């Protein structure tokens, strides 16, 4: 599992895991209550019970802090082995949708995505701290399905990353759009239909390689 907070090299006293957790929790609470524009490092420090200088030693800006506060939520996603690729996908999609319905996730994610449209470094941090870290689920699921014989082994190793990127984009894009943009339910019936469509696409893609 990847680290859940940024950890640039430094000297001196080690960081406190408890303090980091309190800061990130305070950030999410403040974001829900105040919104992006009113959120300040000082407000987060006060809620977390730490000095503002403590925040700046860990995060250079509000942008970095909020992205890490969101990233730890997505690190909660897991892909247990339920015996079939269909069951695995349905489970993680329902888990993802439930996470998106939490006020702190919804508010934080929408805020950082909106802000990133005019902030390239923030967009890069979202990619490295959230998107790239969660692609592990696609890799795990695809490898497990290949071991079960549900998917053929990769014939072209050079295309593996591109395939994982595409699968991730399809799943994340569809669920985020339905849950947060269309505000439609991501229930078991929808997830079954979506998974069937996705599996059909994976089978067709494998047949062409």
Q: How far is residue 172's CA from residue 131's CA, in Å, rounded to a whole number?
A: 9
The pLDDT tens digits of the residues spanning 96-116 come to 999 999 998 998 888 889 989
pTM of the model: 0.81
Please give the pLDDT value at position 55: 92
Q: Is residue 71 within a helix (H) or strand (E), and if so which, with residue range?
A: helix 62-74
The pLDDT tens digits of the residues spanning 116-132 come to 999 999 999 999 999 99
Please give the pLDDT value at position 196: 94
Q: Which stretches of the chain drop beneath a pLDDT of 50?
A: 1-13, 207, 209
Q: How far is residue 137's CA from residue 121's CA, in Å, rounded to a whole number?
A: 25
**Half-sphere CA count of 179, side-chain side, radius 13 A:** 25
């Amino acid at each position: 599992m990847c680290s859940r907070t940024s950890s640039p090299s430094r000297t001196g006293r080690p960081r406190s895991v408890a303090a980091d957790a309190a800061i990130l929790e305070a950030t999410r609470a403040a974001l829900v209550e105040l919104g992006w524009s009113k959120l300040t490092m000082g407000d987060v420090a006060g809620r977390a019970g730490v000095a503002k200088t403590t925040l700046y030693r860990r995060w250079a800006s509000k942008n970095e802090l909020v992205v890490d506060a969101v990233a730890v939520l997505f690190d909660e996603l897991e892909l247990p082995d339920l015996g079939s690729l269909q069951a695995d996908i349905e489970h993680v999609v329902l888990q993802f949708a439930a996470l998106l319905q939490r006020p702190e996730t919804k508010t934080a994610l929408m805020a950082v995505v909106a802000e990133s449209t005019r902030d390239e470094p923030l967009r890069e941090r979202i990619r490295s701290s959230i998107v790239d870290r969660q692609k592990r689920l696609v890799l795990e699921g695809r490898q497990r399905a290949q071991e079960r014989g549900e998917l053929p082994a990769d014939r072209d190793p050079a295309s593996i990353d591109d395939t994982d990127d595409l699968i991730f984009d399809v799943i994340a894009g569809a669920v985020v759009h339905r849950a947060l943009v269309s505000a439609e339910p991501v229930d078991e019936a929808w997830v079954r239909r979506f998974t069937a469509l996705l599996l059909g696409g994976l089978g067709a893609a494998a047949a062409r390689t």
